[in-house]
Amino acid sequence: MNAIERYFGINGENTTLKTELAAGLTTFLTMAYIIFVNPNVLAEAGMDRGAVFVATCLASAIGCFIMGFYARLPVALAPGMGLNAFFTYGVVLGMGYTWQVALGAVFLSGCIFTALSLFKIREWIINAIPTCLKQGVVAGIGAFLAFISLQSSGVVVNHDATLIGLGDLTSFSPFMAALGFIVIVGLSYRRIPGAVTIGILLVALVSLITGNTQFTGIMSAPPSIAPTLMQLDIAGAFDVAMISVIFAFLFVDLFDTAGTLIATTSQAGLVGPDGKIPNMKQALVADSTATVAGTLLGTSSTTSYIESVSGIAAGGRTGLVAVVVGVLFLLSTFFAPLAGMIPAYATAGAIFYVAVLMLGTLKEVNWTDLTDAAPVVVTFLFMPLAYSIADGIALGFITYTAVKVLTGRFEDISIPVWALTLVLLAKIVFL
């Protein structure tokens, strides 16, 4: 025990081994919903649900172990919400690529992310992208997730005259999705750990009791990961049309991770007097290498989870928190039958809840400056309406550059924004 305390610097952070273990459990409970949601989302892309379940658990464990042992920060990782939706609904179902090619694109984005982290280019990129575009991307993904959850649960349906319309809210699926969402919001407001997971399991239990789901067991040996293991198609991702897709995966993962690390380390009081995050390089390497490992196993981008603040609020301050979460993800591989009984409408409420949290970034937008507000709105609306995160990002960048040029505010346009705008514009015009 003394060796563990010395390695993680537990005494130096004014915490205890017991507190760190409890904080790890707390963090896991708040993010365990991903082992139910991710297989449901990626199964829509044609991937084997059981294999994705195992890949999700293993990729999460790998990310947590690297973060805990290497970066020594109390931040847990798992396949990211929004990124998995873009993978399935944007790249596979929307653009028509196979899930193997989509995994190849995620792999390439992870490799680029790793290189950026190692060569310290990340700060330059993060600082060069306008704040309003970052806000627009986060809010846009939130809107995209909300639309997906409403569709998958039947709350909104196809309509010949208006494209979409309100479904029958009295039918079982929409009603249960709404119930799950309300339960999650209520429990989260009361700061009950594991609110999202509790909401999902409650809806699944009701579905089981009413006969809408068949009981298949709670525990078993982990399913085979063979259907997704090493199945990525990297060569297929080397397609000109995939440039914006790879960039979208990279862009979202990079800024999501940076924002999460800033929020969690600030909450933990780990940010130094100079405002720098300790072991930032190691943390980003952990995130990017976990993404690469995840694609080899068979899941979409792995990223740092903002839910880590729950463990920090419980007193967690060291990398041992992340290690505990990693161990719990490994143990979760034995609960595949439970995950298999979770219907899509049970996770729809959880997805909509995540969307609500992401839409909160709109309050930070400078609405008094139209040259900032307009790109945000374009990015925010076109992601769900065009059913593409990549197209939303592209149109947001083009709008930002165009309005800044027309208003004579050339100083607001950085070199990276100029370059990205030209690339994205060329893609829209010529591809």
**Residue 293 and residue 404: Cα distance in Å, rounded?**
40
Phi-psi label, residue 387: left if phi above 0, alpha if psi -120 to 50, beta otherwise:
left
Tokens 């780990």 appear where? 270
User: Which pLDDT score, from 0 to 100, does residue 207 have?
Assistant: 92
Q: Is residue 389 part of a domain?
A: no
Are residues 110 and 289 in contact, defined by beta-carbon separation less than 8 angstroms?
yes
Question: CA gyration radius for the chain?
Answer: 21
Q: Is residue 159 part of a domain?
A: yes
Size of the chain, expressed as the number of residues it contains: 431
Average pLDDT over residues 135-147: 85
Q: Is residue 406 part of a domain?
A: no
Phi, psi for 80 (deg, rounded to 5)? -80, 140
**Residue 424 and residue 405: Cα distance in Å, rounded?**
17
CA distances from 146 to 67, 149, 177, 350, 357 (A): 30, 5, 12, 10, 11
Of 352 and 118, more confident: 352
User: Which pLDDT score, from 0 to 100, does residue 325 have?
Assistant: 95
Per the structure block, which two tokens stand in for 274? 């100079």
**Residue 116 and residue 110: Cα distance in Å, rounded?**
10
Average pLDDT over residues 62-81: 93
Res 324 pLDDT > 90: yes
Instruction: Report pLDDT digits (tens) over 233-288.
Output: 999 999 887 887 898 888 778 777 877 787 777 777 777 666 567 788 888 889 99
Read off the pLDDT band of 1 (50, 70, 90).
low
User: Which pLDDT score, from 0 to 100, does residue 127 have?
Assistant: 64
- Nearest Cα neighbor of 25 from 277, 238, 370, 331 is 331
User: Which pLDDT score, from 0 to 100, does residue 136 have?
Assistant: 87
Per the structure block, which two tokens stand in for 345? 């409408």
Average pLDDT over residues 303-318: 85
Q: Is residue 375 part of a domain?
A: no
What is the value of pTM for the model shown?
A: 0.81
Q: Is residue 175 part of a domain?
A: yes
CB neighbours of residue 182 within 10 Å: 13
Q: Is residue 382 part of a domain?
A: no
Average pLDDT over residues 188-192: 88
Per the structure block, which two tokens stand in for 393? 């990002």
304: which strand partners?
77
User: Which pLDDT score, from 0 to 100, does residue 15 have?
Assistant: 81
Q: Is residue 381 part of a domain?
A: no
User: Which pLDDT score, from 0 to 100, does residue 233 have?
Assistant: 95
User: Which pLDDT score, from 0 to 100, does residue 186 have?
Assistant: 95
Are residues 323 and 69 in contact, defined by beta-carbon separation less than 8 angstroms?
yes
Of 122 and 139, more confident: 139
Average pLDDT over residues 162-185: 92
Question: For the chain, what is the mean pLDDT?
Answer: 88
Per the structure block, which two tokens stand in for 169? 């809210």
Candidate ranges 15-19, 306-310, 340-344, 398-402; pick with highest mean pLDDT: 398-402
Q: Is residue 199 part of a domain?
A: yes
Give the total number of structural domains in the chain: 1
Percent of the chain with pLDDT over 70: 96
User: Which pLDDT score, from 0 to 100, does residue 209 have?
Assistant: 93
Domain hosting residue 73, numbered range: 2-361
In three-state secondary structure terms, 164 is: strand
- For β-strands 77-79 and 302-304, DSSP reports them as antiparallel
First to last CA, the chain: 59
Lowest pLDDT segment from 3-12, 210-219, 259-268, 286-295: 259-268
User: Which pLDDT score, from 0 to 100, does residue 275 have?
Assistant: 59
User: Which pLDDT score, from 0 to 100, does residue 50 have?
Assistant: 94
User: Which pLDDT score, from 0 to 100, does residue 123 have?
Assistant: 63
Lowest pLDDT segment from 24-33, 270-279, 326-335, 380-389: 270-279
User: Which pLDDT score, from 0 to 100, does residue 274 have?
Assistant: 61
CB neighbours of residue 31 within 10 Å: 24
CA distances from 236 to 36, 109, 135, 239 (A): 29, 14, 32, 7
- Nearest Cα neighbor of 55 from 99, 22, 20, 94 is 99
